[in-house]
Amino acid sequence: MIRVLLVDDHDLVRTGIRRLLEDTEGIQVVGEARSGEEALNVAQISNPEVVLMDVNMPGMGGLEATRKLLRQKPMLKIIVVSVHMDGLVPKRLLEAGAVGYLSKGCSAEDVVLAVRTVQRGQRYISRDIAQTLALGTLSGGPNALESLSERELQVLLQITRGHSIQEIAHVLFLSPKTVSTYRSRIMKKLGVHSDVELTHLALRHGIIEPGAADGDAPGRQH
């Protein structure tokens, strides 16, 4: 029996995936979490083998949660499930240790196959994501966003959710001064001068999804 933890801040998404997996022989959903912070706690209690992880959630988000979960449980298999199609986000999550990546438009069969594949110790990347990654490798001429370090990308994603310097510092366990330094470095690298310009740039490059903002997040997405 493959033990699975679901991490997504949308109840409807988790419910749909839970029903799908509970109807599948040999797979058991052992826990659910609405945030990266909650996932760390639930993983300790439920001891999953595979995690289905959203990217953008309240708090630390999927990238930081992936890194922390793998420090906590190095043998864990993490599959990212996200609308992010731009090669930068999948690439950074795979570099952080995720072994699978699915788009949220994938089929039910893809989800089940991904869980079984990664549990056997193999990677599983959906065809559309794999094509995006391959085209990014062949295209040459690095995107300006590619120059960002993993930590800078984490800070960028927090900024585009409308979080303050203090909030970002709390979530990423950094000092406000360090976050301000990262923010300045990001803006210099990308040639922008405000959080609004930074959000627009992220939208143009598919780092965040348009039309998914809620109260405190100018470009929030999943």
Whole-structure pTM value:
0.76
**What's the pLDDT at 87?**
65
- Evaluate whether 216 touches 160 at the Cβ level (below 8 Å): no
22 and 124 assigned to the same domain: yes
Residue 203 pLDDT > 80, yes or no?
Answer: no
Q: Is 221 within a domain?
A: no
Q: What sections of the chain are H helices per DSSP?
A: 11-22, 36-46, 61-72, 88-95, 108-119, 127-139, 150-160, 165-172, 176-190, 195-204
Domains held by the chain: number: 2
Q: Domain ends where: 95, 119, 138?
A: 138
Is residue 215 included in any domain, yes or no? Answer: no
Q: What is the pLDDT of residue 34?
A: 94
Lowest mean pLDDT among 5-9, 143-147, 163-167, 172-176: 143-147
Residues 169-194 have a mean pLDDT of 92
> CB count, 10 Å around CB of 184?
10
pLDDT in tens, 112-122: 999 999 999 99
188 and 169 inside one domain: yes
Q: What is the mean pLDDT of residues 167-174?
A: 90
Please indicate, yes or no, if residue 178 is contained in any of the structural domains.
yes
Residue 129 tokens read as: 């994501």
- The pLDDT of 36-56, averaged and rounded, is 95
Residues 95, 167, single domain; the answer is no
Question: Which backbone phi and psi does 51 adopt, to 5 degrees?
Answer: -120, 130
Quote the domain boundaries for residue 22: 2-138
Cα 211 from chain centre:
18
